[in-house]
Amino acid sequence: MPKDLRWYLEAIKDQMIIVDNEVDPYTNLAAYAAQSPAPILFSNIKGYPGWKMCDMLLKTREVQGKAIGVDPKKVVPEMARIMKRPGQCVMVNTGPVKDVKMIGDAVDLYKLPAPVHSNVNSGPYITAGMCVTKDPNTGIRNVTILRNQLKSRNSTGFLMAGGHTWENLSKYEERNEPMPMAIVIGHHPLFEVAAAFRGSYEMDEFELASSLLGEPVELVKCETIDMEVPAWAEIVIEGTVPPKVRELEGPFCEFTNYCVAQGNNPVFNVSAITMRKDAIYRNIQTPRYTDHQAIASLPREAHIFSRLKDVEGGLDLHDVHTPSWGGSFLVLVQMTPHFEGQAKTAILAALSTANFMPKNVIVVDDDVNIYDARDVVWAMCTRVNPQTDVMIFDNMRIYPMDLACPQISPPGEKTYQRVGGKMGIDATKPSLFRKKEREEFERALPMGFGLKLSDLLGEAIQFDGI
């Protein structure tokens, strides 16, 4: 059996929270999902008997380690490694996603338990939909995760914040032809990680998913459009995007925890839905700190890690983290600077990657825990001279959903963009080149550091690391 969503849920069952009490997808499911510290499965959804819904599948380093098959402390270096190995897609005649078919007049999106995600949402949204399109000239496939607002039983409105899907739609619109698109919901979450990665235009994200999983990805043909989709997915929605048609979409709470990019956006007309006979609905809750940030952050962390490993022939790099509490715009780099200026080199490299979301980069030494905001702020306050250790870059291209920077072109068009500043902070100790000065910044620790209060008391209590 290939590594699909069910394979993954079985692998993490010891960490999963099962909710058997009834939840309402329109009024309270979002609140419960947002609070979950671990993978969660809802098995009793009001109005949708027989359906199950899962969420928070990659929220923590612990479950990310499970997904990749490594110790949580090695997630980013391992991701950087496996993203480089070759991947393969193979066509098969059929698969479980073809168990149930709704075609034409039988299509009804409201039969899917898509929830309302926040108090500002305009209605139910599909948030874990991996949208598959092709370049009409070359047939190169692109997969990305886009928000889709349910507008009727057979149509959605969706947002594109730049990227390769826009490139494909633009080419179809130049021809005045509808763009075929499929929305894939529910698979091993490393498919979502692949879809969230912004690589080259020529990269096939299904092949990247194969690289991450370490096995070929089986694809089947769609029923009503010329498109290939994973045979072991839970749900596939097929249809077309009409050229140069825009309708009001939103409001919707994005990964920034703000209502962003409401406007006249493209529409998607649905021609078929296929699914497994007992399909599990995959949800990605949006506010506040959820899978929404983690899925996009994981491949970005690995990409930045690889990039910094090449800078100056390889920095002494320990880890890279883009914490959810940084709104996806913050990158934390943990390294040991051997020479003067290396931390600033790391800042420049981290701000200029394939993904233009990083806006703030903070570089710290290996004695600072980049998973503890207290430690990061401590380093900023005690190791930074703002006059020399803060770098500001003006008039940079900013991610279009960053409300802090001026918008110069609205959503709904390929030119949707913002321009503003980016910042780097060198919060490292003096480099190893200045050994004596570096020693002055050694942290004092409690006598007996490493012992745990819980061991002394003989009972399990949470240890507040120092």
**Paired tokens of 88:** 């393969």
Do residues 394 and 406 lie in contact, with contact meaning Cβ atoms separated by under 8 Å?
A: no
Contacts of 443 (CB under 8 A, 6+ apart): 367
**Distance between CA 9 and CA 13 in Å, rounded?**
6
- The H or E element that residue 389 is part of is helix 386-389
Partners of 93 in the β-ladder: none
Partners of 148 in the β-ladder: 126, 158
**Distance between CA 398 and CA 342 in Å, rounded?**
25
Partners of 178 in the β-ladder: none
Tally of residues, the chain: 466
**Paired tokens of 208:** 């990247």
Q: Helix H segments across 231-341?
A: 291-310
**Distance between CA 383 and CA 92 in Å, rounded?**
57
CA neighbor of 159 nearest in space, from 174, 149, 168? 149
What is the per-residue pLDDT for 466? Answer: 46
Pairing label, strands 263-275, 280-282: unpaired
Within 13 Å and on the Cβ side, how many CA atoms surround 430?
A: 10
Angle between helices 189-196 and 205-213 (to 10 degrees): 130
**Distance between CA 206 and CA 27 in Å, rounded?**
35
Provide the 10 A C-beta neighbour count for residue 85.
10
List, for residues 303-358, the tens digit of each pLDDT value. 999 999 988 888 999 999 999 888 778 999 999 999 999 999 999 999 987 777 88
CA neighbor of 164 nearest in space, from 191, 189, 129, 195? 195
β strands within 159-207, DSSP E: 179-185
Do residues 149 and 280 lie in contact, with contact meaning Cβ atoms separated by under 8 Å?
A: no
Do residues 285 and 62 lie in contact, with contact meaning Cβ atoms separated by under 8 Å?
A: no
Q: Rounded to whole angstroms, what are the CA distances from 142 to 109, 160, 169, 269, 393?
A: 23, 13, 11, 19, 32
Letter for the amino acid at 306?
Answer: S
What is the per-residue pLDDT for 139? Answer: 95
**Distance between CA 165 and CA 420 in Å, rounded?**
24
Burial of 280 (0-12, 13-18, 19+ CB in 10 A): buried
Rg (CA), the chain: 23
CATH number of 291-439: 3.40.1670.10
Q: Provide the CA 372 distance to its chain's centre, in angstroms.
A: 21
Provide the 10 A C-beta neighbour count for residue 416.
21
Question: The tokens 């490993």 sit on which residue?
Answer: 309
The answer to whether the predicted template modeling score (pTM) of the entire model surpasses 0.85 is yes
What share of residues in the chain are helix, strand, coil (percent, to 5)? 30, 25, 45
Instruction: Give the DSSP per-residue string, 54-83.
Output: EE-SSSSHHHHHHHHTS-GGGHHHHHHHHT
Do residues 288 and 60 lie in contact, with contact meaning Cβ atoms separated by under 8 Å?
A: no
Do residues 83 and 303 lie in contact, with contact meaning Cβ atoms separated by under 8 Å?
A: yes
**Distance between CA 409 and CA 419 in Å, rounded?**
10
What is the per-residue pLDDT for 288? Answer: 76
The arrangement of secondary structure in 87-282, i.e. its CATH architecture, is Roll (2.30)
Give me the residues of the chain with pLDDT under 50, please: 466
**Distance between CA 440 and CA 88 in Å, rounded?**
52
- Segments making up each domain of the chain, as ranges: 87-282, 291-439
